[in-house]
Amino acid sequence: METFALLGQGFSVALTPENLMLAVFGCILGTIIGALPGLGPSNGVAILIPLAFSLGLDATAALVLMTSVYYGAMYGGRISSILLNIPGDEPALMTTLDGYPMAKAGRAADALVLSGVASFVGALLATFGLILMAPLLSRIAYLFGPAEYFALYLLAFSTLGGLASKNQAKAIIAACIGLAIAMIGLDNSSGMERLTFGTLELIDGVDFLVAIVGLFAVTEVFVFIESSGKQTAIGVKIDKITIPVRDIIRTFGTMLRSTVVGFIAGVLPGAGASLGSFLAYSAEKAISKDKSRFGKGDVRGVAAPEAGNNAAAGGALVPMLTLGVPGSGTTAVLLALLMTLNITPGPLLFEERPEVVWGLIAALLISNVVLLILNVPMVKIFVKILMVPPWVLLPGVTMVSFVGIYSLSGSWFDLLLMIAFGVMGFFLRKLGVPTVPIILGILLGNYMEDALRRAMVISGGEWQYLFSSPIATGLWIAAFAGFVAPLFLRRYIKTPDKVPD
């Protein structure tokens, strides 16, 4: 009951004309960002944060805008998967498998509508999951001391490294790069400079937004220059939009199952939406009696990954809001947004700023409805946007990133740093090193160190303290298992080819 009262309060925050307008605007922008190949939820949200910040929006409004963009991008990713056979963003990779064949068979409109409905089911149910689970988890989170938090951060890195990358060593290196960068600047406890090499600009540390925009947006430009001219997919025309009622009814079970699978994948810290859609597709294929149609335009193959990735997107918000540990690359970016707004996620957030949390949740429910309208009857408009060629899109994205970062700090040093991160991101991507752990490292590095140091202060330097409570020990075991298990499972489960979001 209490939950409903709080949710009602949330709706009263979210339903102000300004916030409602921001939600609609965010949904449109998000769908566009998701649909455009080369712009995914992570880099889309990343380049918008500095701009949202310089608009001077208050915390709730900024969150409403950015989470609508986040959900919108999850919906939009499927459009280019289905029409161009290019995933609009990484979580939409699995949708190409059956979506494109379906479009080639002349059923593009049906595929778009079906996947739109699947996205809606996944995202809506996941938002209810968030409403039920987040308050519970935030109550458990009260039991967390520094030792538990340290173990939890470790768990986030290990699931990210274990599940989401092909080579554990590379994921560790990526996490270390991020953590090492986080150490630069003033030391929180002693106030001494660390690793600044006497550079004035580094005393405040490296701004995580600079790193995020560099690694996500600037890197993309270099990748496109490398692959220029190669991406010539033949687009598919769509005819009149009709609602394939029979297919929707037939795949309803698929959507529900995929939502559950996706939501669980999302809640795991560090796993994310790509994994959600991948697991949902694989699970659906594994339990179906007639597997022969999968990969050739099976409607279940369209519904499963879309319900899965949208459910995971909602699930990923659970650990992010309650524990301050993001469940995916994009939620890491959203965490960066919270930090920029001076909001510390965690159990206290639910007590101290209920209007932010419940306003956000209400905004998610609203944006789901808006997105269903945008993505089913009005999908044709977004299809047109796919015509924007990369030679306009990428310079545009670059200029937006530059102006965003420049308007935040006004320093050319940050711009140069951003370019450096872009170059680093390009080489790391060629080497198969995932970049999301770097972001996570930069975001969490100081918290992780603080947790460790406070634990050592409490225990007087006894390291056994780190394993002293059942929760801490459990998290250490989970972290270890999450990291090691994929080594043995790799033979049976093949992760998707791209580095998951």
Partner 1 sequence: MAGSKTSDRVFGALTIVVALAYIASATQIKTAFFSDPLGPRWFPYIIGAVAALAGFSLVIRPDEGEKWPGLFIFIKIAFACAILVVYALTLRRMGFLIPTAFAAGLLSYQIEPRKLQAFLTGIGLSGGLFVIFKYALGLGLFALPKGWIG
Beta carbons within 10 angstroms of residue 276's beta carbon: 39
Query: Is-contact 64 81, C-beta < 8 A?
Result: no
Query: Which CA distances in Å does 171 have to 22, 175, 177, 429, 433?
Result: 37, 6, 10, 12, 6
Q: Which is nearer to partner 1, 266 or 390 (CB)?
A: 390
130-139 burial, b for 16+ CB within 10 Å, e for fewer? bbebbbebbe
Q: Which is nearer to partner 1, 3 or 407 (CB)?
A: 407
φ/ψ of residue 342, rounded to 5? 65, 30
Under a CB-based contact definition with an 8 Å cutoff, are residues 307 and 119 in contact?
yes
Closest approach of partner 1 to the CB of residue 456, in Å:
5
Phi, psi of 185 (to 5 degrees): 115, -165
Using the contact rule CB under 8 A, the part of the chain among 64-72, 193-201, 248-256, 350-358 near partner 1 is: 193-201
Report the nearest approach of partner 1 to the CB of residue 187 (Å).
4
The Cα–Cα gap between 499 and 501 comes to 7
- Kindly state the number of chain residues that form the binding site for partner 1, as judged by CB under 8 A: 67
To the nearest 10°, report the CA torsion of 29, 252, 302, 482.
80
> How is residue 473 annotated by DSSP?
H
Which stretch of DSSP H or E encloses residue 185? strand 185-186
Per CB under 8 A, 389 contacts partner 1: yes
With respect to partner 1, which residue has the nearer C-beta, 12 or 227?
227
Q: State the minimum distance, in angstroms, from the CB of residue 476 to partner 1.
A: 16
233 binds partner 1 (CB under 8 A): no
The answer to whether 393 touches 39, Cβ cutoff 8 Å, is: yes
Largest CA-CA distance found in the chain, in angstroms, rounded: 71
Kindly tell me which residue out of 195, 233, 378, 493 binds partner 1, with binding defined by CB under 8 A.
195
Q: Is 385 in the site for partner 1 (CB under 8 A)?
A: no
Rule CB under 8 A: is residue 474 a binding residue for partner 1? no
Task: Tell me if 153 contacts partner 1 by CB under 8 A.
Answer: no
x-or-dash string of contact with partner 1, 435-464, rule CB under 8 A: -------------xx--xxx-xx--xx---
Q: What's at 96, amino acid-wise?
A: T
366 near partner 1, judged by CB under 8 A:
no
CB of 141 to partner 1, least distance (A): 23
Site mask, partner 1, residues 291-330, x = CB under 8 A? ----------------------------------------
Which of 176, 256, 373, 385 contacts partner 1 by CB under 8 A? 176
Residue carrying structure tokens 């995971």: 312
What tokens were used for 192?
Answer: 């001494």
243 lines the binding site for partner 1 (CB under 8 A): no
Cα–Cα dist 155/173, whole Å? 16
Binding site for partner 1 (CB under 8 A): 51, 54-55, 166-167, 169-170, 172-173, 176-177, 179-180, 183, 187, 189-195, 197, 218, 221-222, 224-226, 228-229, 389-392, 394-396, 398-400, 402-403, 406-407, 410, 412, 415-416, 418-419, 422-423, 426, 430-433, 448-449, 452-454, 456-457, 460-461
